[in-house]
């Protein structure tokens, strides 16, 4: 679906990837039986795929197993833009929305590689290198005693959007497009 504000569209794939790499949290949108559901998650992206993980049971897995079509969103809130009239207040931002199909990873090597990408993003490369296939396969959460599911979104469509002022646009490559 085309953006109403074509002047705010980010077309540069590198700029979109940079926003994904900087965003600390993504929001996964799911739907099943006419019920929407949005979940904030840690994630990583690589080669046109978005990698996520969760428990092997619960509401999110129920939704995913019944409808693998998903939407994923991240944003960078930059600042409030005040105005003389309250209804004209705005904010500056950068955002990315992706549509695709979620695929639960069952191959141990692919599952470990996906989880390593997530660990590397949040804990660094050194920590990620310590993650083994056995650790991934044997892990059970202490609280719930459930295993970890790693899945990827095969992105079919991805768009970026931004609204920036001179102040928020200084020194950012993500404003391109």
What is the rounded average pLDDT of the residues 17-38?
A: 96
What's the mean per-residue pLDDT of the chain? 88
Query: What is the chain's alpha carbon radius of gyration, rounded to the nearest angstrom?
Result: 18
The CB-side HSE value for 138 (13 A sphere, CA atoms) comes to 5
User: Does residue 170 surpass a pLDDT of 80?
Assistant: no
Query: CB neighbours (10 Å) of residue 155?
Result: 17
Please write the tens of the pLDDT for every residue from 76-118: 988 888 899 989 898 889 999 999 999 999 999 999 999 999 9
Q: Which fold has domain 6-165?
A: Pnp Oxidase; Chain A (2.30.110)
Please write the tens of the pLDDT for every residue from 145-157: 567 889 999 999 9
Distance CA 135, CA 147 (A): 11
Domain boundaries, the chain: 6-165
Q: What is the DSSP letter of 169?
A: H
78 near 94, Cβ under 8 Å? Answer: yes
User: Does residue 143 surpass a pLDDT of 90?
Assistant: no
Residue spans of beta strands (DSSP E) within the chain: 9-10, 26-32, 35-41, 43-46, 49-55, 69-81, 90-104, 148-163
User: Does residue 172 surpass a pLDDT of 60?
Assistant: no
Give the pLDDT band of residue 42 (cuts 50, 70, 90).
very high
The residues, ordered by sequence, that sit 6+ positions from 109 with a Cβ below 8 Å of its Cβ are 133
The CB-side HSE value for 146 (13 A sphere, CA atoms) comes to 12
User: Does residue 41 surpass a pLDDT of 70?
Assistant: yes
Distance CA 62, CA 37 (A): 11
Give the N- to C-terminal CA distance of the chain in Å, as an integer: 18
Least confident among 20-34, 64-78, 96-110, 132-146: 132-146
The CB-side HSE value for 68 (13 A sphere, CA atoms) comes to 12
Give the pLDDT band of residue 175 (cuts 50, 70, 90).
very low
């Amino acid at each position: 679906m085309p953006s109403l504000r074509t002047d705010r569209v980010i077309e540069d794939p590198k700029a979109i990837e940079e926003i994904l790499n900087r965003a600390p949290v993504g929001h996964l949108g799911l739907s099943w039986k006419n019920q929407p559901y949005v979940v904030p998650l840690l994630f990583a992206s690589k080669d046109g795929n978005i990698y996520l993980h969760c428990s092997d049971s619960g509401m999110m897995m129920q939704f995913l197993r019944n409808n693998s079509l998903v939407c994923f969103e991240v944003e960078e809130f930059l600042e409030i833009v005040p105005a003389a009239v309250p209804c004209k207040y705005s904010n500056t931002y950068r955002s990315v929305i992706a549509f695709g199909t979620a695929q639960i990873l069952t191959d141990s090597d692919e599952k470990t590689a996906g989880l390593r990408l997530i660990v590397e993003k949040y804990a660094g490369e050194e920590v990620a290198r310590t993650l083994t296939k056995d650790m991934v396969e044997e892990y059970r959460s202490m609280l719930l005693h459930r295993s970890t599911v790693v899945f990827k979104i095969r992105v079919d469509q991805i768009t970026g959007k931004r609204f920036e002022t001179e102040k928020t646009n200084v020194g950012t490559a993500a404003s391109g497009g």
